[in-house]
Amino acid sequence: MSIVFRPAIPISFRQKESFIPSVTKSPVTNKRPAKLWTTSTLAALVELRALAVPYNEIGLFFERRPADCAGAVNRHSLQLAIRNKRKALIQEAKEQNK
């Protein structure tokens, strides 16, 4: 009795090398050119988010996907700027209402 287990595989289960499909890499298709966020578009993004405009409408305004707009807020750490701008707008509304 052998310590090493050798399974007995019937010949009918074995494949010939010619039946193994070859893997080919698909050619790269056209990639979208990257649109960079400029300082002025980031400032407009902060203004719009401070006014609580949804990302869907911001995406239509900038001709970008809503996920790109949300990603720009996160990537450029604009949450604090949006929060400060929103507080300033609320404070301005309070002063005008007095």
Residues with Cβ < 8 Å from 48, sequence gap 6 or more? 57, 58, 61
Identify whether 13 is part of a domain: no
Query: pTM here?
Result: 0.66
Could you tell me the two tokens for 52? 């609580």
Identify whether 80 is part of a domain: yes
Q: What is the pLDDT of residues 28-78, one digit of tens each?
A: 777 778 889 999 999 999 999 999 999 999 999 999 999 999 999 999 999
Rounded to whole angstroms, the Cα distance separating 52 from 58 reads: 10
**Band of the pLDDT at 81, cuts 50, 70, 90?**
very high
* Total count of domains within the chain: 1
**Range of 52's domain?**
36-97
Q: Phi-psi category of 57—alpha, beta or left, where left has phi over 0 and alpha has psi -120 to 50?
A: alpha
Identify whether 73 is part of a domain: yes
